[in-house]
Amino acid sequence: MLSILYAYRNRDAERVKYSLDSLVKQTNANFKVIFLDYGSNLDTANEIKGLISNYNFVTYIYSFSEFQPWSRAKAINIGLRNITTDYVFTADVDMIFSPNFISKLHELKNPLKAYYFKVGFLNKKESKSNKNFQDYSVDFTTGVGAQGLSLFYIKSLEKIRGYDEFLHFWGAEDIDIHERLIRTGIESIFYNDEVLLLHQWHKSYRKSETNILSKDLQLQGVVKLNHQHLLSNQKNKVTVVNNEKWGHLISESEFNELEKNDCQIIINNKREAIDHFLFVELPQHTEKILSIQFVQDPFQTSLKFRVKKLLGKTVPKYYSLKEINDKILLHIISSYHNFPYTYKISNDLKIITFKIKK
């Protein structure tokens, strides 16, 4: 027996159905699926949970991470903590599996080897067609650098405490996990004898990054930051990452405790106020929920401020809310992602609300 692990958030139900339907057609049924929903909004979560109820081999798990930035590393780690089989394949809801895919995994599985697989990418039109696997027309295939879809021995992952949970948003987690396994003596192998996986088309999520504040959580430059972290792990020959709480699932009770806590402190966007919060108040806070709202100082848009600035007089220095957003998110993923927290941007993009229980 082996497990297929999906890490998911807010994707359309049709592609999920295509993927799970291809597992129904497997020639080898010796597998089960863990479907880890990393904080989809509740409407989407209910829709997906209803869809998944039609597949008796799938276990659905919901992490109340809706108001946290996406982290495939953290989502996978939560799934790993819930797997009871000896082997796991880290999947993607975009995948359509060849009917003999599970049989091939059983053939390849080895405690001293980690496999990743060549993937055939479909164009937009082809992705909407419902065909037999062999009848799809592939636009292009992945090379040796694409390591996201992998077969692992569970104990080898547990030994290095799973995926590196510093890595949020996009990039580097797949290369990093293979490199750290190699340093422990596990062989990493690219299986490219045949195409066993097809990728349904979707827009590039990385290209949606903007340099302005957005209600969709973003951190400017995070892909380069993740790559720098990968280089650091390489340089220092890191194997074990994370603390002992790796793979922690945010429970409903933890989420509700944060949600019902009203804002305690309002901090304006003066640079000294933001810096003091990040470097003094936040590190020293313990034993209760801290609830903060960050807002623009009204004085910044006043006539008095503009006149004083025009005359060269001393005026406060401010961070934009986008700069505050990036600073807070960077602190969270660096030092506080293991704590229960929520992070929200108001619909009018004028308030950032951050709650954390330390």
Q: Which residues contact 201 (CB under 8 A, 6 or more apart)?
A: 121, 122, 123, 124, 126, 127
Distances (CA, A) of 45 to 164, 201, 215, 256: 26, 22, 19, 17
Instruction: Give the right CATH number for 2-235 from 3.90.79.10, 3.40.50.720, 3.90.550.10, 3.50.50.60.
Output: 3.90.550.10
Containing H/E element for 62? Answer: strand 58-63
CB of 116 closer than 8 Å to CB of 175 = no
Decide: residue 233, CB within 10 A, 0-12 exposed, 13-18 middle, 19+ buried.
buried
AA identity, residue 4: I
**Calpha distance 62→40 (Å, rounded):** 8
Helix axes 72-80, 173-183, angle to 10 degrees: 50
Confidence (pTM)? 0.94
Judging by DSSP bridges, how do beta strands 31-38 and 2-8 pair with one another?
parallel
**CA pseudo-torsion sign 206, 122, 118, 148:** positive
pLDDT of amino acid 209? 66
- Chain mean position to CA 108: 28
CB of 191 closer than 8 Å to CB of 118 = yes
**Calpha distance 328→217 (Å, rounded):** 11
Cite the residue boundaries of each domain of the chain with CATH code 3.90.550.10: 2-235
Helix axes 173-183, 222-235, angle to 10 degrees: 10
pLDDT one digit per residue (tens) for the chain, 358 residues = 999 999 999 999 999 999 999 999 999 999 999 999 999 999 999 999 999 999 999 999 999 999 999 999 999 999 999 999 999 999 999 999 999 999 999 999 999 999 999 999 999 988 988 889 999 999 999 887 788 899 999 999 999 999 999 999 988 999 999 999 999 999 999 999 999 999 999 887 665 667 889 998 999 999 999 999 999 999 999 999 999 999 999 999 999 999 998 878 999 999 999 999 999 999 998 878 999 999 999 999 999 999 998 988 999 999 999 999 999 999 999 999 999 999 999 999 999 999 999 8
pLDDT of amino acid 207? 59
Judging by DSSP bridges, how do beta strands 265-268 and 289-295 pair with one another?
parallel
pLDDT of amino acid 129? 86
pLDDT of amino acid 181? 98
**Calpha distance 198→91 (Å, rounded):** 11
b/e per residue, 174-189, with b = 16+ CB within 10 A? bbbbbbbbeeeebebb
